[in-house]
Amino acid sequence: MTARVVIVGNGMAGARLAGELHAREGDRKVTVLGAEPHRAYNRILLSTLLAGRIDEPDVELTEAAGHGIDLRTGVPVTAIDRSAREVHTDGERIGYDHLVLATGARAVVPPLPGLDPADLPERVVPFRTLDDCRRILAAADGARSALVLGGGLLGLEAARGLASRGLTTTVVHPREHLMERQLDPAAGAVLAGTLAGFGVTVQLAVPATGVAADADGVRLDLADGRTLHADLLVLSCGVRPDTALAQAAGLTVRRGVVVDDRLRTDDRSISAIGDCAEHDGVLSGLVAPAWAQARVLADVLTGTDPLARYRPQPVVTRLKAAGIDLASMGDPVSGGPGEELTFTDPARGTYARLRIRDERLIGAILLGDNPAVGTVIQLFDRGHPVPADRRALLLGRALGTTGATPAASPALMPDAATVCQCNTVSKGALVRSWRSGARTVDAVVAATRAGTGCGGCRDAVGGIVDWLSQAESVEVTR
């Protein structure tokens, strides 16, 4: 009997799961129901699209297609009937043997006077979806100024993108420093200075109290009595897991849909992955965990590995904004036992902080040009001992992951080193794809998926392909 798997959501998690299921052997029908009318797209690249560095086709994801895949876009699911094992759309009931919720998260619209989440003014736009990005670009066309409410990761990427289009841009953030979840105050100050150099002004420690918008522009009222005016207001105030379907169906929901190590809810015929899922009390909110969950769930559902379990891996956060190099990992801010090393050079936009315990890196912030960033990420990701000369990491004198030799050449990088964090692709996997005939960067990316997440490793992938080209004297087209 053909197993029926229904995936609710055609975002980065749902589309990846469909691909993982399609790639495994077995007789099954996979139905993907996407509420958005578009093909699946890479949400991480929307800030790059906003900056004008890529076009819409560049954000599209490769979707599963062919026998056994029924992809339907623009089809929102309205209810789940657990007893009948059916999902309801506006005009149909679709049966399932296993249901997967990959409903993602929605942008938070702050409860301010003048903001109705169901009826936002034309010049006020959240930044979450492709349609949001299109609306921002339409509003930015002919605009001269923009406000961004929220100084987190996505808000800063949006601000940098708008500034690169020539808009005078101001970020308003209620906290004492930018990206307070990933950075300490000193790093936040250096980052604010770097943004200022790109034409982005930052207003800190001042909550917004109200919004007014009309055909002439937007006014943002602040708690200190000031008002800011602009042609456009972008909302980047966080996201909230979309758990409405799960709650209405009676599944256990806390902040997200609660799942176990096999990504199952308390109904064993229903799973949840991605931004809507809460595993071990944690919401991931990042692409790498979502794609790891898709791999595990595909193994479990197809029987490829019935004992597969999801185990969260250390997370590295990268700011994806032109001219700004920032990596934050682990817990770089909290106190506690161990070593702590810092270096700051605001004039050059450089800041580094390392936290070391038992000779292992437990947290780091690297802002600005630091050649050791790849080595630091590898040390953190693999839990290797840090080199005796800590200054090499702090000041950017790159060492190998053993601390003994320079890591400038891919030849000195261990095969087990992770190059693509989003897809967990090692250097060895890249080398194997090359030796199997993938002789261009695009071919290696297609074979391994490296670089298809945040795109931050694309240069590293290109460097390894160049190295292989030179080492084996084969011409490579990039």
pLDDT tens track for 90-105: 989 999 999 999 999 9
Residue 117 is classified by DSSP as T
**All domains in the chain, ordered by first residue:** 4-106+240-302 (3.50.50.60), 124-237 (3.50.50.60), 331-398 (no CATH), 410-477 (1.10.10.1100)
Least confident range of 169-178, 206-215, 276-285, 385-394: 385-394
Give the model's pLDDT for residue 88. Answer: 98
Q: Which two tokens stand for residue 264?
A: 């199952």
Cα–Cα distance between 183 and 367 in angstroms, integer? 10
Place of tokens 């003048």: 114
Cα–Cα distance between 262 and 409 in angstroms, integer? 39
Tell me the β-bridge partners of 418: 426
Residue 136: exposed, middle, or buried by beta-carbon count in 10 A (0-12, 13-18, 19+)?
buried
Tell me the β-bridge partners of 28: 3
Cα–Cα distance between 38 and 60 in angstroms, integer? 9
Nearest CA to 77 among 60, 59, 96, 49?
96
Query: Within 13 Å and on the Cβ side, how many CA atoms surround 458?
Result: 11
- Model confidence pLDDT, tens digit, residues 255-281: 999 999 999 999 999 999 999 999 999
Give the model's pLDDT for residue 211. Answer: 97
List of residues 6+ apart from 472 with CB closer than 8 A: none
Within 350-418, residue ranges assigned H as helices are 373-382, 391-395
Rounded to the nearest integer, the mean pLDDT of the chain is 90
Give the model's pLDDT for residue 478. Answer: 40
* pLDDT band at residue 66 under the 50/70/90 scheme: low
Q: Is 50 exceeded by the pLDDT of residue 356?
A: yes
Nearest CA to 464 among 417, 421, 406?
417
Cα–Cα distance between 187 and 114 in angstroms, integer? 34
Q: Which two tokens stand for residue 254?
A: 């806390």
Strand 350-357, strand 233-235: pairing: unpaired
Cα–Cα distance between 171 and 196 in angstroms, integer? 11
User: How many residues does the structure list for the chain?
Assistant: 478
Cα–Cα distance between 144 and 163 in angstroms, integer? 10
Place of tokens 């949006």: 158
Give the model's pLDDT for residue 404. Answer: 37
Q: Which two tokens stand for residue 208?
A: 């917004």
What end-to-end distance do the CA atoms of the chain give, in Å? 46
Give the model's pLDDT for residue 80. Answer: 98
- Model confidence pLDDT, tens digit, residues 46-55: 999 999 999 9
List Cα–Cα distances, 39 to 34, 64, 126, 386, in angstroms: 9, 11, 20, 44
Least confident range of 66-75, 227-236, 444-453: 444-453
- Model confidence pLDDT, tens digit, residues 201-255: 999 999 999 999 998 999 999 999 999 999 999 999 999 999 999 999 999 999 9
